[in-house]
Structure 1
Amino acid sequence: MQAPAEKSSDVVEHIEDSHNRGVYAYDEDRTHKMNEKDIAPHVEVLSGEEEKHIEHDLDVTGYELEDLESKYSDMTLNRTRNIIQQLYLIHENDQNFPRPTLERMQEFLKSPQIMETPDKYPELVREMKIEAILATSNSPYLEVRANVDPTDDPTMPSLTFRVFIIGTIFAAIGSFIDTLFGFRQPAISIGPNVAQLIAYPFGRLLAAALPRHEFSTFGRKWTMNPGPFNKKEHMLITIMASVSFTAPYTFYIVPVQAMPMFFNQPFARQFSYQIINTLGTNFVGYGLAGLTRRFLVFPSVAVWPSTFSVIALNKAFHTTTNEPVKGPFGRVFTASRERMFLYSFLAMFLYFWFPGYIFQAMSVFSWMTWISPNNVALSAVTGMTGGVGLNPWPTFDWNNLTVWLTPLTIPTFSILNMFFGILIGAVMCIGVWYGNGWNTGYLPINSNYAFDNTGASFNVSKILDADNNFDDAKYQQYSQPWMSAGYVVSFMWYFALYSATATYVAIYHRREIIVGARSLWKSIKRSIKKGHVEDDEDDLAEDVHFRLMQKYPEVPEWQYLIVLLISMVFGFVGVGAFPTHTTPAVLVFGIIMPIIVMIPCGLVQAVTGIAVPLNVLAEFIGGALIAGNANALMYFKTYGYITVYQALAFSNDLKLAHYLKLPPRHTFSMQLWATLIYCFVSSGILNFAMGFKNACTRDASFKFTCPGQHTFFTSAVFWGTLSPKRLFGSGLRYNWMLFGFPLGVIVVLIYWGLRKAFPKSEFLRQVHPVMICAGPSTWGSPYNLAYYIGNVYVVLLSFQYIRKRYTAFWVKYNYVIAASFPTGIAVCAIVVFFALEVPHGGYSVNWWGNNVLNNGCEGQGGCPRLDIPAVGYFGDAPGSGKFT
């Protein structure tokens, strides 16, 4: 059922002065007060050339322009100026906002003659009125308009019996698969798009099979089958899958504590310990996500680019329109979105058999190293495994492009800024390695392992006593830990990333923070006075999607706060009731950090689509506060890092619900239910997975080698047992990396100064200093330039070529393809695993195309440049007492 069309009398009025609020609200009554002479006449028919000009300037399609022209007579010049004024303030520094539109807005606002003699500027006035209509009746972003409908049908059911059944089953199965096969290298996971694909036929089946009889329970009528399976039900199931199709952080903590090759602490095998800590770590993020909705979900500038592929797939199954569009090669494409998804899904499913199984060298296409596999310099500079990855075409595997982001969904400015930062990191890695800084020449150029002074992996068991605590005497006789050049560069830029994020948000996003804080405070006051939370029109009414969501009762902030407090109680019990040798107070410090950094990091991710990972900051702060205790560091890191990660993931899902107009209380209740299932299923699998033969060793059955757990263990000892106090600070060997903190501030201030000096520079407007700092922070094997450069080619083809020349084609198909490719890969990987790798010990294709990956330095994960000195070690001598 289609939503009723908006009334022609719906108009927009400016509520507060531009320096104070800069938002605008819906007003259905002002039409009656408007002066007749202020109402513009209907616009005449545009010529083809004028139409193309407006489409280019405003970044709209021909279909959209036709619809906007039909509403032209309702927009007066005064209202236009008020709206454009606010739009300019909101989007002046917004890299997602189209540049030609911003330039035309600036021209309109800086010409006072326009208000006096509008007839002399007919083209500019026309464009600005159309832009004002566009921004208030839809979204100013083409990416949003391409996927999100600006209408809603409040009578469309969302939380139904079939949603509950399908969502519950999917949450249980997805949690089982993702947790169990997370122990494997490479891991196998099922993403939300796979769930969305499979949910559609199940939903249609239940819609046809379930009885439509009405029941009455506690005075409320309901039915198992309210009619056709609709897009809101479909998205609610997808959100349930999104929160449960992953592994909990106890997936790392429990094996590292319990297994003999790690800390060998038997209490961690108790199910009570596992479930209590899983509940605590997985629900804590909800509280922060709910309390920050007004900053990260409601504002229109928080577009969350990663949501569009999910929405596009939903739209592909449920849209009834199929407009023909002109595309490349001079063709007119008539395939529906659903058909395009099925075609591209099937194509990727068939194609991935080659890089994923038959011809794996297509995935790691280090073709230059194959010329001379044992050439150390060639491998270091061009290699994908343990090298810098300076390879112009390093892969034919779409899956390798998804390491940091979802291709085809992230805007050009994010990709190119991060790529520039990665190039800076590559130059620094090569410089540090060839200069033998910090003795990195004795190690591979790019590795995420810690090494001892012989170039071997750092054996943490040699510095621990019987209780797994740090033993300084053993440490002095063994070795200091050493990092590769890639890891040194990565840590320095991680520190720069954190300070750059705080500085950038303070300068360029303070308006959103002030408006969100004001709205939150008003909501709290109303809640206290009236006993409930109800937003009225003067709260953050920025766009049509926010206005449409006002029809549904919101979830009060106090309910999110209760979830946060209950999860903290579980966390306190999980730490304090078991022999963890850790005080529950560490959780308080671990939760304070997310409260501080949640909004800055969330704003950056909501605009750019790139997350700001906080694991290093949590390790750095936690290790400094609780030096010598690896268990305490693990809990601090869990609540300091994973809380933000989960809260932003939940915010992303809340934005999905916002775009699809799901009632907030339905979303909230199903998120909690799916997470509860996920916690119990995931906890129940841990002991089963740890019981596999030779689990977490190189000889493990089914490749259950636990790569993530090994890295987590090394980090726990490196940062917790050794602590940053032995690595950073005055006179210590890695103190130079702390320069990253002031560097991040300096980078942003230089950018701010350049913007002030050259305010009209479009190039500078597209620069994002936080993304530049994020680029080199990604170093550390196996990730390098080779895993990223493919995204540059993809974004240039999609966003810069196809979008600009074939806008309607791009709008219709870009995000559908973005959803179909990862779905095809995931389904293919599952088929390969269960059909070919599990039965009878597995089947493999033994030929050059798979074996070449194991040759030379690439097969070893990189080679050192320098030989170990004749004494058998580098650095200070063991037993000299110089290890700090």
Structure 2
Amino acid sequence: MNSTTSFLQSKKLDPEAPPSYVPSTELEVEEVNDSPIEQVRLTVSIEDNPKLPCLTFRTWVLGITCCALLSFLNQFFGYRQNALVVSSVSAQIVVLPIGRLMATYLPKKAVRLPGTKWSFSMNPGPFNLKEHVLITIFANSGSSSVYAVDILTIIKAFYYRPIHPLAAMLLTLSTQMLGYGWAGIFRKFLVDSPYMWWPANLVQVSLFRALHEHEKRPKRGLTRLQFFLLVLVSSFAYYIVPNYLFPSITALSFVCWIWKDSVTAQQIGSGLKGLGVGAFAIDWSTVAGFLGSPLATPGFAIINILVGYVGVVYVLIPIAYWTNMFQAKKYPLFSSHVFDDQGLPYNVSIVLNQTLFEFDLEGYNGYSRVNLSIFFAFLYGLSFATLAATVSHVLLFHGRSIWQQSKASFEDKFGDVHTRIMRKNYDPVPQWWFYSLMVLVTGLAMLACEGFGRQLQLPYWGVILAMSLAFLFTLPVGVITATTNQQPGLNVITELIIGYIYPGKPLANVAFKTYGYISMSQAIMFLSDFKLGHYMKIPPKSMFVVQLVGTVVASSVYFGTAWWLLTTVDYICHPESLPEGSPWTCPGDDVFYNASVIWGVVSPLRMFGRLGNYMAMNYFFLIGALAPVPVWILSRIYPEKKWIRLINMPVILGGAGAMPPARAVNYNCWLAVGILFNLVVYRKYKGWWARHNYVLSAGLDAGVAFMAILSYFALQFRNINGIGWWGLELDDHCDLGGCPTAPGIKVDNCPVFN
């Protein structure tokens, strides 16, 4: 990744610019024979050596190890206060020296399996690029979260209900693997077509090329690998401080320390419960925990996110709260929880029949409507706007290009050099492999939902409807992702549809959402990986096998890690009952649980429909659809002003979309680090940035991950949670930041206003 900038700069291509090509049927013959997309021509090699071994002993050992390790780490961190995501880039960098060591020291003599005639070599020669790519595909499976585990978590940790482990495992596997069917159906269009170019893959292509080119250590400098190891050791050594000795530095809010008795001041200053004015942290996991590494985000995207974040957090929310919109002052300023009309936490047990585990209308009518914090309500509205704006933006800015690409792809008029090489040198994956797998996984999905006493509540027709939605959206969303690098999410739409059709069933709602949204998302991921293999000239059958095995391994490890933590960590996901200093607060799962109450138990009709308090949020669909129009008009009037096209309304509207579970302190730190490195350092020290920026990100991630695991198993697993003192609390010490300010509302540990 770090080589992308320098490589593209050498070709006079701005690495920060968004895709801005217009494919033409009048391309010169030479360009058609290479690739009709300029970025691909400048980045992807047109050379191939089909004799290089791919599925070697090294590939299997390092690939499965990376997949399992990243799966464990990401699920392990998923339950923690700052849910750091360890990306496949760390594995991509680390396995290179390990692979070369194996190539140097492993025996080359063939090993024969006892009782068979089959043999293999543990060391077929130098560690090559194709092995490295397949190992990274394994790692991609481990670094991609398993959404179905959230269902398991809310069942056990929030609803306190049993679930058969086999049903949970089948749910996990089937939701992750259904996407193979859609990928197989649409791969000719979304992979073989040169117009479906998947811009994000070009970054990894450049990184592979940089890592496999010979690198000489600069005078008085370090190689990229040496720099990575230095950052890794430093990050590893430092993380003992925020993780164990001084957890309070993960969120520092000085405003709260100055005005200790002011609810308003703490609402403004709290980085965890409020607007986060002046809040910051000295902790990489706070920076990258929910938003990913800011070092990997282009500068123009960071500015768009900054504009959206400031507009929502410091303009929209304060106006709405202090004008008491939706009776906002009855509830905390920032919270992902649900509340009753008296400002108290909503007692879900009153409106949920525990015997049938479904909505109790009589209990609801005698209790209260569901209320949200003003932050949570508007973020749902903004999610509506973001989805609509994504469709509008793509149609306006890329509609003509996508239509031309679509016609060319379906007519199969163009076959670029990469497609010709793949067709000439490698056998394609038989279509029946995909269809057979889809039929098998559909059967497993039906068994998971209809079997085991229908613990997941979703009937067979719900599975079929969810699959139909995934099938319907895979092609258009795939085209959008493959050409614009933007992937619209279907989570809100799927929740909305099943919430109206089959209300009052919380687990049916989340299961439907997962089968509809995640199977499509997985298909997009599989297609993206296939395109990476297409660019790197990996045999398609090897890609299929690695993806399949990686998905099974990742699903199993994610499930096993979640089950282990849910059954061994006392009071996991309940911060009020956890010992001081314990990080197992599950912020992401807390949001998922409350979404299941909003969309599943109570249903959208009683939240955002005519029977709810937040019907006005539906206007955000219209706002989002219209938002890109002025930008598009200005870009047409002033085509010479290229900065106008960098204004991305879906990104701006979704700028604060990770809140919750992300908090203001996460955004403050993320934006500060991102602006420093991808605007200031990028412009002033471009050579250093191109060489070290992404390696720095990978080293910081890896160091935090390794220290967190070590400290947990060595200390926290044995309930040794550090020396008891003020700094041990995993909080920003803004106790009043979550208090309501409406007169007469009584909440524990909060003052009552008159």
The secondary structure found in structure 2 opposite 1:691 is helix
Displacement of 1:446 after TM fit? 1.4
Structure 1 residues 652 and 825, CA gap change in structure 2 (3 angstroms): farther
Residue 584 of structure 1: which of 449, 457, 460 is its match? 460
**Deviation (angstroms), 1:453:** 2.1
- Take 1:547 and 1:352, find their aligned partners in 2: how far apart are those partners? 49
Per-residue displacement from partner, 1:288-337 (whole Å, max 9, x unpaired)?
345455666565784544873x667656653313385xxxxxxx774322
Deviations 1:101-142 (A, max 9, x none): x9xx9xxx9xxxxxxxxxxxxxxxxxx99xx99996998559
Aligned 8 A contact 2:36 2:194 in 1: no
- Structure-2 change in CA distance of 1:151 and 1:347 (3 Å): farther
Matched ranges for 1:262-341 at <5 A: 262=159, 264=161, 266=162, 268-269=163-164, 271-293=165-187, 299=194, 302-305=197-200, 308=203, 318-322=212-216, 334-341=221-228
Contact 2:387–2:489 (CA under 8 A) maintained in structure 1? no
Among 367, 370, 395, the alignment partner of 1:481 is 370
The alignment partner of 1:153 has SS state of: coil
Residue identity in the other structure for 2:701: P
Determine the C-alpha separation between the residues in 2 that align with 1:604 and 1:408: 24
C-alpha separation between the residues in 1 aligned to 2:492 and 2:540? 34
1:96 to 18, 24, 44: 18
2:751 matched to which residue of 1? none
Comparing 731-740 with 814-823, greater Cα deviation is found at 814-823
Establish whether residue 158 from structure 1 lines up as the match of residue 54 from structure 2.
yes
Q: Distance in 2 between matches of 1:743 and 1:521?
A: 34
Aligned partners of 2:45 and 2:184: how far apart in 1?
24
The answer to whether 1:768 aligns with 2:618 is: no
Greater relative contact order, per chain length (Cα 8 Å cut-off, separation 6+): 2
1:75 aligns to what? none
In the superposition, relative to structure 1, how do residues 320 and 493 fare at CA in structure 2: closer, same or farther (>3 Å)? same
2:327 to 439, 442, 445: 439
Q: In the alignment, does 2:599 pair up with 1:719?
A: yes
2:340 to 452, 460, 485: 452
AA paired with 1:833? Y
Is residue 334–residue 375 contact of structure 2 (8 Å, CA) maintained in 1?
yes
Over alpha carbons, which structure has the higher Rg? 1
**Residues 446 and 779, structure 1, Cα contact 8 Å, conserved in 2:** no
**1:165-176 alignment to 2 at 5 Å?**
165-176=61-72
Aligned partner of 2:126 in structure 1 is: 228
What is the identity, as a one-letter code, of the residue corresponding to 2:697?
Answer: A
Which whole-Å CA distance do the structure 1 matches of 2:375 and 2:731 have between them?
Answer: 21
Instruction: Tell me if the contact between 2:317 and 2:375 (Cα under 8 Å) persists in the aligned partners.
Output: yes
Which of 610, 633, 648 lines up with 1:753 in the alignment?
Answer: 633
Residue equivalent to 2:9: 60
What's the CA shift for 1:149?
A: 5.6
The answer on whether the counterparts of 1:162 and 1:203 sit within 8 Å (CA) in structure 2 is yes
Cα distance, 1:740 vs structure 2: 0.9
**1:602-658, Cα deviation, whole Å (9 max, x unpaired):** 566567766544322322222122112222212211112222333333344334434
Equivalent residues of 1:162, 1:224 under 8 A apart: yes
Contact 1:179 1:685 in 2 (8 A): yes
TM-score by length of 1: 0.73
**Residues 313 and 832 (structure 1), Cα distance of their counterparts in 2 relative to 1, 3 Å cut:** farther
Which residue identity is paired with 1:498?
L
Quick one: percent identity of the two aligned structures? 28
Q: Structure 1 unaligned runs (5+)?
A: 1-54, 66-86, 110-127, 325-331, 524-537, 873-884
Q: Against the structure 1 CA distance between its residues 773 and 593, is the aligned structure 2 distance closer, same or farther, given a 3 Å change threshold?
A: farther
Separation (CA, whole Å) in 1 of partners of 2:47 and 2:555:
36
After TM superposition, give the deviation of residue 355 of structure 1 in Å: 3.5
**1:243 alignment partner in structure 2:** 141
Contact 1:493 1:777 (C-alpha < 8 Å) held by counterparts? yes
User: Residue 287 of structure 2: which of 398, 401, 416 is its match?
Assistant: 401
Mapped partners of 1:273, 1:721: distance in 2:
22
The structure 1 residue matched to 2:316, chosen from 390, 409, 428, is 428
Shifted more, 219-228 versus 407-416: the winner is 219-228
Could you tell me how far apart the structure 1 residues matched to 2:634 and 2:339 are?
42
Answer whether contact 2:235 2:704 (CA < 8 A) is retained: yes
Q: What does 1:189-208 correspond to in 2, within 5 Å? A: 190-196=86-92, 198-200=94-96, 202-208=98-104
Q: Secondary structure at the match of 1:777?
A: coil
Give 1:222 shift: 5.2
1:575 to 449, 465, 473: 449
Q: Is 1:316–1:337's contact at 8 Å kept on the other side of the alignment?
A: no
Asked if the contact 1:183/1:707 (under 8 Å) is kept, the reply is yes
- How many Å apart are 1:693 and its aligned residue? 6.0
Alignment check: 8 A CA contact 2:235 2:703 kept: yes
CA distance in 2, matches of 1:546, 1:340: 37
| Inter-partner Cα distance in structure 1 for 2:74 and 2:19 | 37
Task: Please state how far the C-alpha of 1:725 moved relative to its aligned partner.
Answer: 0.7
* 1:354 partnered with 2:276: no
Aligned residue in 1 for 2:752:
none
CA-atom RMSD, angstroms?
A: 4.0
Cross-structure match for 1:415: 302
* 1-structure distance, mates of 2:268, 2:32: 49
Decide whether the 8 Å contact of 2:262 with 2:736 is kept in 1: no
1:377 partner letter: T
Work out the CA distance in 2 between the residues paired with 1:181 and 1:347: 20
Q: Distance between the aligned counterparts of 2:723 and 2:16, measured in 1?
A: 50
- How many angstroms apart in 1 are the aligned matches of 2:254 and 2:528? 39
Match status 1:619 vs 2:507: no
Following superposition, the deviation at residue 741 of structure 1 comes to: 0.8
Q: Determine the C-alpha separation between the residues in 1 that align with 2:369 and 2:147.
A: 29
CA positional deviation for 1:599: 4.8
